[in-house]
Amino acid sequence: MQAIDRLKLLNQQMQFEPDTDVSPDGRATLPVACLEQRADDLYVHPAVMPNGRHIRLLKTQLTSVCERDCHYCPFRSGRDFRRATFQPEEFARLFMELHRRNIAEGLFVSSGLAGGGVRTQDRLLQTAEILRHKLNYRGYLHLKIMPGAEKAQVERAMQLADRVSLNLEAPNTPRLARLAPHKTFQEELLTRLRWVEEIRRTQPGHRGWNGHWPSSTTQFVAGGADESDLELLQTTEYLYRSLRLKRTYFMAFNPIPDTPLEDHAPTPANRERRLYQASFLLRDYGFSLEEMPFEAGGMLPLLQDPKLAWAELNLSAQPVEVNRADRAQLLRVPGIGPRGVDAILRLRQQATIRDLSTLKSAGILAERAAPYLLLDGKKPIYQISLGI
Which residues of the shown chain bind ligand SF4 in the complex (CB under 6 A)? 66, 68, 70, 73, 75-76, 112-113, 180
Long-range own/partner contacts, residues 102-105 (CB < 8 A, 24 or more apart): 103/38, 103/39, 103/42, 103/44, 103/56, 103/58, 104/44, 104/56, 104/57, 104/58, 105/55, 105/56, 105/57, 105/139, 105/140
Are 69 and 76 spatial neighbours (Cβ–Cβ below 8 Å)? yes
Q: Give the whole-angstrom CA distance, residue 246 versus residue 121.
A: 22
**Choice between 113 and 369, CB closer to ligand SF4:** 113
Smallest gap from residue 89 Cβ to ligand SF4 (A): 23
Smallest gap from residue 16 Cβ to ligand SF4 (A): 11
**Choice between 62 and 66, CB closer to ligand SF4:** 66
**Choice between 10 and 113, CB closer to ligand SF4:** 113
Smallest gap from residue 146 Cβ to ligand SF4 (A): 8
**Choice between 123 and 273, CB closer to ligand SF4:** 123
Smallest gap from residue 229 Cβ to ligand SF4 (A): 22
Smallest gap from residue 179 Cβ to ligand SF4 (A): 9
- The kind and range of the H/E element at 194 are helix 191-202
- The one-letter code for the residue type at 345 is L
Q: Give the whole-angstrom CA distance, residue 348 versus residue 322.
A: 9
- The one-letter code for the residue type at 165 is S
**Choice between 190 and 281, CB closer to ligand SF4:** 190
**Choice between 75 and 240, CB closer to ligand SF4:** 75
Q: Give the whole-angstrom CA distance, residue 228 versus residue 16.
A: 22
Smallest gap from residue 121 Cβ to ligand SF4 (A): 13
